[in-house]
Amino acid sequence: MQLSQRVLGTEYSPIRKFRPLVLEAEARGIRALHLNIGQPDIETPRPFFDAVNAYKNRVIGYAPSDGVADFVQAMIHYYKGLGVALDHNDLLTTYGGSEALQIAFSCMLDEGDEVLVPEPYYPNYNTFVRMAGGVIRGIPTRAEDGYRFATREQIEPHITPRTRALLVANPGNPTGVVLTPEERQTLIDIAREHDIFLISDEVYRELVYDGEPISTMLQHTGADENIVVIDSVSKRFSATGTRVGALISRNGELMHNAMKLCQGRLSVATLDQVGAAALFESLGSDYYEKLRAEYHRRRDAVVSALREIPGAQFDVPEGAFYMMVRLPVDDTESLQRFLLEEFSDHGETVMFAPGSGFYADPDEGRQEIRIAYVSNCDQLRRSVELLKLGVAAYQKKMGIPAQVNAVPLACAC
């Protein structure tokens, strides 16, 4: 039987594809510490469990296709706190940010249509865009410029008649870049002038560390038809396994059509929405402040530890809980395989996400890795120590001199 060219053209997640090697390593008694996956170890707040346990309906029935009313109201209330007035019709509840993206692309893309995305980008964007029939065109950025991308000079040359959307993650996964208000406005102006959608993936909204105000693209006026926001409870509430998110836009025609797709798949899991609504209702700025402070500490811990790796290059990330690091090796996929198959220190090794999966051209990013700083500071320090030891062992095995490619970054750390 023939499979679709579309699915054959997608790749395994570069973040998850080494799982079989991890299982083999575990079978040999080696424990792998995870810098690769955005799974925080912070507890999901109690209100989630309390609301789920207090659920009184004895039938777990379908939720409305657009979401459980309490959840939708809780989100509308939350956005009001950001100065954004939303109507019920502006929001559709989805299976996490992932499904919000899938629905958005399905509504926007026909075969061969293009989505512009600054590189490096979250690899699953590629899967979602491809499965909707589209292709990603990368906006090149430079590690030396801190991966910033939001200028007309960088973006406009890549717009073609097939461009349907500009997709950005803010705060950025994998770069940690946080857009300035002026940069956001530039993106909006470009989207409006070129009559394309601006999809803003804001699932890390609260995680900014250098005093930036909490922002959303929806605060900007005059481009209601263009702006589409992706949201999720996963990272904000350390509840990635709840799979509750939202597609938000004031473009009525888009939302009307997106609702058809929501009806098609019936509904998002009911209890998870009940729990998520309770999280929004019971947690406010105090909670976010504490969460931010904790990730701030983790960021600082991982940055300090990385400074101990000779030849490692990176910028201090401003937001989310990811960062890109360039390592003094030839190929980080090969390094990862080595770390899982041949390396260990006191029975431990370490995983990261190899950088090439974050670029449209797989030849790019081969010296880079993405780190997720989601575990506690002690474990982060140990993970980076393992990375340091592993890089040295790999360099020795491969005959790579230490400190190759030590190009200093603009904002040296």
Stretch 200-259 residues interacting with its own copies (CB under 8 A): 225-226, 238-243, 251, 253-254, 257-259
Run of H or E residues at 165: strand 163-169
- Please list every residue from 159 through 188 that binds its own copies, using CB under 8 A: 164
Rule CB under 8 A: choose which of 144, 195, 224, 361 binds its own copies. 195
Site string for its own copies, 72-111 (x = CB under 8 A): -----------------------xx-xx--x---xxxxxx
What's the closest the beta carbon of residue 259 comes to its own copies, in angstroms?
8
- Please list every residue from 299 through 358 that binds its own copies, using CB under 8 A: none
DSSP state of 37: S
Say how far apart CA 271 and CA 62 lie, in whole Å. 10
Rule CB under 8 A: choose which of 36, 78, 84, 113 binds its own copies. 113
Task: Determine the interface stretch with its own copies among 78-86, 146-154, 268-276, 391-399 (rule: CB under 8 A).
Answer: 268-276
Answer positive or negative: Cα dihedral of 291, 292, 298, 302: positive
- Please list every residue from 30 through 49 that binds its own copies, using CB under 8 A: 37, 39-44, 48-49
- Please list every residue from 124 through 163 that binds its own copies, using CB under 8 A: 124, 127-128, 131-133
Run of H or E residues at 353: strand 353-354
Say how far apart CA 284 and CA 376 lie, in whole Å. 23
What's the closest the beta carbon of residue 107 comes to its own copies, in angstroms?
5
- Please list every residue from 8 through 27 that binds its own copies, using CB under 8 A: 8, 10-13, 16-17
If the CB atoms of residues 72 and 325 are measured against its own copies, the closer one turns out to be 72
If the CB atoms of residues 164 and 298 are measured against its own copies, the closer one turns out to be 164
If the CB atoms of residues 210 and 224 are measured against its own copies, the closer one turns out to be 224
Run of H or E residues at 125: helix 124-131
- Please list every residue from 352 through 381 that binds its own copies, using CB under 8 A: none
Angle at 34 between CA 29 and CA 39, to 5 degrees: 130
Run of H or E residues at 198: strand 197-201
Say how far apart CA 384 and CA 33 lie, in whole Å. 10
Q: Do 391 and 335 form a contact (C-beta atoms < 8 A)?
A: yes
Say how far apart CA 398 and CA 391 lie, in whole Å. 10
